[in-house]
Amino acid sequence: MTMSFDEPARRDNLAKVLMRTVALGMISLIASVAATVDAKPLKLEKEQLKLGFIKLTDMAPLAIAYEKGYFEDEGLFVTLEPQANWKVVLDRVITGELDGSHMLAGQPMGAAIGFGTKAELVTAYSIDINGKAITLSNDVWNKIKPALPVDAQGKPSHPIKADYLKPVVEDLKTQGKSLKMGMVFPVSGHNFDLRYWLAAGGLNPGFYSPTDVSGQIKGDVLLSVTPPPQMPATLEAGTISGYCVGEPWNQQAIFKNVGVPVALDDEFLMTVPDKIFGVTKAFADKYPNTHLALIKALIRAAIWLDANNGANRKEAAQILSRPEYVGADYRVISASMTGTFEFGRGDKRAAPNFNTFFRSFASYPYVSDGVWSLTQMRRWGQIAEAKPDAWYQETAKKVYRPDIYLQAAKLLVEEGKAKKEDFPWDSDGYRAPAKAPIDGVEYDGRQPNAYIEKFPIGLKGSQRVENGNVVGK
């Protein structure tokens, strides 16, 4: 059956359809624009920025913010530049050669107290949590493996404790030698994590003093600095017998068949961040909108990295494997970036919380994380004298800026780029007290001195290191 309309009626019908289509289109356009217009775009004080990073998988938010256009969305023209080591990172941020950088969580705190270089740095963004591991050389692993308890599958039970290292350490002492291990920087979480693990097993990792910053005073195990990418080669050369580092350099030890990872940081320690994004206080004060824009872009990158139970992690590993970022084999990076962690050939285990970037408020800069770094500096002598609790709080609050983070988060929510429920709006900046799995010691950031007192190994009270000895009470 054929239907026909007269020409005027047909034109009138087409006009109505066209008007409805245009109206619906305008409504859709207004709705999509409203989210961004309501938030009022930031007026940037500086648009071209150079940001630094070290070749580790936890630099991922910077790479993703660049590759996915999040920096550009904020009006930022960013250059990402790899750095040789953490000291270079710190120095170049302080001098302004870098506008900001991927940075160790403890570096701003070390700068605040003048351990090494004195400077005013701030962080409004925590890059990741649960991203470090401890690896032992094949030789040491083979010596401790027979004594380790095993699970139902016949694999070593985790967490593996440093207690099992004691016979190795004692045997070396009878030969006039010491067990040597590497970490990435004196005020790194890697140094503090490794020291925590060793001390929980009854091994003294050594003290610092104002006149001896080796960190090896009275040490049962001697720790020294090794840049992350050099860890596997240094282990292979026999210069060190183990290390604590971020990925992919633990997996690389397996890939090169030179070592075996024995512990992830979240297996033995309560949650603390690995890295932060740091800028000078001068930069944050001079370019507040630019700083906010940076934090917004990084938060979006963190959301993407953790979205849909890690659905984007394979793509992230492919991006990170490029030479301009981490430059390690995709198989090595994906071994720890896609929900698993390999502890040895044929020993791959689920590790869904390794390298967490956004879930569990991972990107929120908790003041209590800064306090924890300070407690470890005091415990091992980097802070030479006792300090009151208030000093820890005040020092950490100058560096860790959750207020700036939440300001950036609010803008993203208003723009429809983030969900309101994904941010800790009511937080006072302190994590709830939590116990470390390895020794059951509870950390409460509001009571730093009481926390320090709980450890059998480490400075406490009025103790200090003088002439190579611990003195005081």
Instruction: Write out pLDDT tens, residues 102-148.
Output: 999 999 999 999 998 999 999 999 999 999 999 999 999 999 999 99
Q: Are 177 and 238 in contact (CB under 8 A)?
A: no
Name beta bridge partners: 285. Answer: none
Structural domains of the chain, count: 2
CA distance 338 to 351: 9
Q: Are 350 and 339 in contact (CB under 8 A)?
A: yes
Q: Report if residue 242 sits inside a domain.
A: yes
pLDDT string in tens for the chain (473-residue length): 333 334 444 444 444 434 444 444 443 443 444 434 445 789 999 999 999 999 999 999 999 999 999 999 999 999 999 999 999 999 999 999 999 999 999 999 999 999 989 999 999 999 999 999 999 999 999 999 999 999 999 999 998 999 999 999 999 999 999 999 999 999 999 999 999 999 999 999 999 999 999 999 999 999 999 999 999 999 999 999 999 999 999 999 999 999 999 999 999 999 999 999 999 999 999 999 999 999 999 999 999 999 999 999 999 999 999 999 999 999 999 999 999 999 998 899 999 999 999 999 999 999 999 999 999 999 999 999 999 999 999 999 999 999 999 999 999 999 999 999 999 999 999 999 999 999 999 999 999 999 999 999 999 999 999 999 999 98
CATH code where residue 179 lies: 3.40.190.10
CA-nearest of 61, 42, 43, 38 to 51 is 61
The predicted structure's pLDDT at residue 39: 55
CA distance 190 to 57: 15
Domain enclosing residue 206, as ranges: 132-272
The predicted structure's pLDDT at residue 346: 86
Gyration radius of the chain's alpha carbons: 26
Pair 314, 371 in one domain: yes
Among 212, 237, 272, the domain-final residue is: 272
The predicted structure's pLDDT at residue 453: 98
Pair 173, 259 in one domain: yes
Among 219, 241, 272, the domain-final residue is: 272
CA-nearest of 105, 119, 133 to 365 is 105
Q: Report if residue 157 sits inside a domain.
A: yes
Name beta bridge partners: 259. Answer: 137
Q: Report if residue 35 sits inside a domain.
A: no
CA distance 445 to 393: 8
Task: Extract the tokens encoding 59.
Answer: 């630099």
Q: Which residues of 6-23 are buried (b: 16+ CB within 10 A; e: fewer)?
A: eeeeeeeeeeeeeeeeee
Pair 62, 165 in one domain: no
Pair 298, 265 in one domain: no
Q: What is the phi/psi pair of residue 349, to 5°? A: -125, 155
Name beta bridge partners: 278. Answer: 101, 123
| pTM for the whole structure | 0.91
The predicted structure's pLDDT at residue 339: 93
Among 250, 272, 294, the domain-final residue is: 272
Q: What is the phi/psi pair of residue 466, to 5°? A: -135, 130
Q: Report if residue 224 sits inside a domain.
A: yes
CA distance 14 to 263: 70
Name beta bridge partners: 122. Answer: 279
CA-nearest of 79, 131, 127 to 107 is 127
Pair 288, 427 in one domain: yes
Q: How far apart are the first and last CA of the chain?
A: 103
Q: Report if residue 82 sits inside a domain.
A: yes
Name beta bridge partners: 221. Answer: 179
CA-nearest of 473, 377, 362, 472 to 424 is 362
CA-nearest of 291, 292, 295, 273 to 283 is 291
Pair 141, 155 in one domain: yes
Pair 291, 438 in one domain: yes
Pair 233, 263 in one domain: yes
Task: Extract the tokens encoding 326.
Answer: 């981490």
Q: How many CA atoms lie within 13 A of 449 on its CB side?
A: 12
The predicted structure's pLDDT at residue 369: 98
Pair 139, 121 in one domain: no
Pair 324, 430 in one domain: yes
Q: Report if residue 238 sits inside a domain.
A: yes
Pair 240, 312 in one domain: no
Pair 179, 64 in one domain: no
Q: What SS3 string covers the chain?
A: CCCCCCHHHHHHHHHHHHHHHHHHHHHHHHHHHHHHHHCCCCCCCCCEEEEEECCCHHHHHHHHHHHCCHHHHCCCEEEEEECCCHHHHHHHHHHCCCCEEEEECCHHHHHHHCCCCCCCEEEEEEEEECCEEEEEEHHHHHHHHHHCCECCCCCECCCCCHHHHHHHHHHHHHCCCCEEEEECCCCCHHHHHHHHHHHHCCCCCCEEECCEEEEEECCCEEEEECCHHHHHHHHHHCCCCEEEEECCCCHHHHHCCCEEEEEEHHHHCCCCEEEEEEEEHHHHHHCHHHHHHHHHHHHHHHHHHHHHHHCCHHHHHHHHCCCCCCCCCHHHHHHHHCCEEECCCCCEEECCCCCECCHHHCCCCCHHHHHHHHHHHHHCCCCCCCCCHHHHHHHHHHHECHHHHHHHHHHHHHCCCCCHHHCCCCCCCCCCCEECCCCCCEECCCCHHHHHHCCCCCCCCCCEEECCEEECC
